[in-house]
Structure 1
Amino acid sequence: MSLTYITLATDKKMPLVGLGTWKSSPGQCIKREDIFITSKLWNTKHHPDDVEPACRKTLADLQVDYLDLYLMHWPMAFERGNIMMPINEDGSVRYADTDYKDTWKAMEKLVEKGWVKALGLSNFNARQIDDLLSTVTHRPVVNQIECHPYLNQSKLVDHCTKRSIVVTAYSPLGSSDRPWARPDDPKLLEDPRILEIAKKYGKSPAQVIIRWQLQREVVCIPKSTTPSRIKENIEVFDFILSEEDMQQIDSFDCNGRLIVPTIVRDGVRVWRDSSHPYFPFNDSY
């Protein structure tokens, strides 16, 4: 694959490799005219009355007139307000009962205002995608999900592709600096099988993983604030992984989901939001 862009259902082109800006400090990102900007609607802003003000704040914070893509960050609504994580003393979250379909209807108005060029989802499962598609005017063009060799999401990728929804992989390199990581968690970039393939191609482990995603037509947004690594992460268009190596990396899948915060409940560590009726990961994909 020599293409560096993928065409969305809106006919807008989106880069195949992006830059994750989580934890980035002010001034470390690229100029507006050089990039395709994606932002997200957070869980506390799901109420239809909160969607427009939330987007307006994002535009003001970024000092731009429009977003190329605006995603609903999760299907789950949290308690309304300006506290990003409304957490109880026991670590549980205070939820709201807003239906993500009602949130979507409010997001569609942003397209009509010209503030947003396209809309998408993040962390939605297959059933939720189909539920939403049954009511939309502006179809989601992207579903951004955790996706890497330990969680290759092949069924969900196939489900999205059949519906003209592009999959974007967040944490494609395993997000080793996630706050809840434990010392014994596997480190994708240190996996000896990945290291062996990287040596074969004269590439870094990160480049091999990103290339694997691109050959699956999955967009990647690896996070980095290190210029040399940012440069390295986009130097993935000058080699092609063999079908054998693609299949080998596919085989690393172990449903190894990493980006789900946990809490201890009744002495047992559980997924923090698993009790929410719209928690997406209770389904197999």
Structure 2
Amino acid sequence: MEEVIKVPKAKLNSGHQMPLLALGTASTSLPKAEQLTSIFIHAIEMGYRHFDTAAVYGSEEALGRAVAAALQRGLVASRDELFITTKLWCSETERHLVVPALRRSLGRLGLDYVDLYLIHWPLRFKDSVEDGKIKTENVVPFDMKGTWEGMEECCNLGLAKSIGVSNFTSTKILQLLQNATIPPAVNQVEMSVAWQQSKLLAFCREKGIQVSAWSPLGANDAPWGNPGLLEIPQLKDVAMAKHKTTAQVALRWIYEQGACPIVKSFNKERMKQNLQILNWELGEEEIGKIQQIPQRRGCRADIFVHPNGPYKSVEELWDGDI
């Protein structure tokens, strides 16, 4: 059996520990369930301990089966060794819908609790999404206070060890904190060398909120991506000097910012390479080169903008941070 790579952990403000590298499970074309389960089992064999899923991804059941198989085969000694994140979808962001939504996710995962439960977007949809198609006119005002009360109830019931948010700006986090009894432990946002999030990162650090980074490699094949990220000249220069892949440099940079990269690859060789970012570091000059990379948000989320909706412009959705 190959050597298991140990991923360092960050202590969250909830008191729980979170591995600082996660395997993402969102894909525009998910493999068949059995194949997906075997990919996740292989990831556990390699050393992945943190898995990121969501109600809307369609990967919860396959992940749940992989967790059960890993326990049965002794790949992990107990459920506590794995850190499972899932998310509340936008059609459930109302006080009374939150706990039932998490219970359904737990049913699909075959688990008694998740380690982290996130509000997927600061949005509310009137109807559920058909065929993955979001109708802009279905985006209605979001009851942040009520939804967060539901999230806190998930925590108090022991259904989620930690709770947090995803795609929240610092302005929206401040709004949430005005009424929160339990502060968010994590804010999961788009972050990469091409969208470095330095202001949001500093804000979250100050508030004791851990940042997780989705699309850390640009998600080339996805509509929410920042394509061409791995071809950026500064990144290629650093990779060549370090004898690393551009992906490894991009992930290492995020890791050195104290954020947790959520990296989605179902290719076994790349999954292994993505874990190999822990025993080396970037020099000052290399970090300087990366800081010179032109910045562009990959996911503008125009789809949530509507003249009659709560967000009338992309600027309003992101509170000017675009």
Do these two structures clear the TM 0.5 threshold for a shared fold by scoring above it? yes
Contact kept, 8 Å, 1:68 with 1:117, in 2: the verdict is: yes
Specify the alignment match of 1:260 in structure 2. 300
How big is the shift at 1:190? 1.5
Which residue of 177, 196, 214 corresponds with 2:255?
A: 214
Structural RMSD (CA) = 2.1
Secondary structure of the 2:196 match is: coil
For 1:60 and 1:135, the matched residues in 2 are separated by: 30
One-letter amino acid of the counterpart of residue 260, structure 1: R
Q: 1:40-70: per-residue Cα shift (whole Å, max 9, x none)?
A: 0011111222111211111011111110000
Specify the alignment match of 1:188 in structure 2. 229
Structure 2 gap segments, 5+ residues each? 1-5, 42-65, 68-78
For 1:87 and 1:115, the matched residues in 2 are separated by: 29
Specify the alignment match of 2:23 in structure 1. 19
Cα gap change, 1:175 to 1:134, in 2 (>3 Å):
same
One-letter amino acid of the counterpart of residue 187, structure 2: N
For 1:7 and 1:39, the matched residues in 2 are separated by: 19
Contact kept, 8 Å, 1:10 with 1:118, in 2: the verdict is: yes
Specify the alignment match of 1:63 in structure 2. 110
Specify the alignment match of 2:45 in structure 1. none
One-letter amino acid of the counterpart of residue 272, structure 1: I
Specify the alignment match of 1:29 in structure 2. 40
How big is the shift at 1:87? 4.2
Specify the alignment match of 1:238 in structure 2. 279
Q: How much identity, in percent, do the aligned residues show?
A: 34
Between Structure 1 and Structure 2, how many residues are aligned? 268
Specify the alignment match of 1:268 in structure 2. none
Specify the alignment match of 1:281 in structure 2. 318
For 2:141 and 2:291, the matched residues in 1 are separated by: 38
Q: 1:179-217: per-residue Cα shift (whole Å, max 9, x none)?
A: 366xxx750112222111111111111110111111110
Specify the alignment match of 1:267 in structure 2. none
One-letter amino acid of the counterpart of residue 99, structure 1: D
For 1:151 and 1:179, the matched residues in 2 are separated by: 16
One-letter amino acid of the counterpart of residue 152, structure 1: Q
Secondary structure of the 1:51 match is: helix
**Shift >6 Å, 4+ stretches:** none
Specify the alignment match of 2:75 in structure 1. none
Cα gap change, 1:86 to 1:200, in 2 (>3 Å):
closer
Contact kept, 8 Å, 1:47 with 1:80, in 2: the verdict is: no
Specify the alignment match of 2:57 in structure 1. none
How big is the shift at 1:277? 2.6
For 2:100 and 2:92, the matched residues in 1 are separated by: 9
Q: 1:109-135: per-residue Cα shift (whole Å, max 9, x none)?
A: 111111100001101011110110111
How big is the shift at 1:7? 1.0
Contact kept, 8 Å, 1:143 with 1:167, in 2: the verdict is: yes
For 1:127 and 1:180, the matched residues in 2 are separated by: 22
Cα gap change, 1:29 to 1:97, in 2 (>3 Å):
same
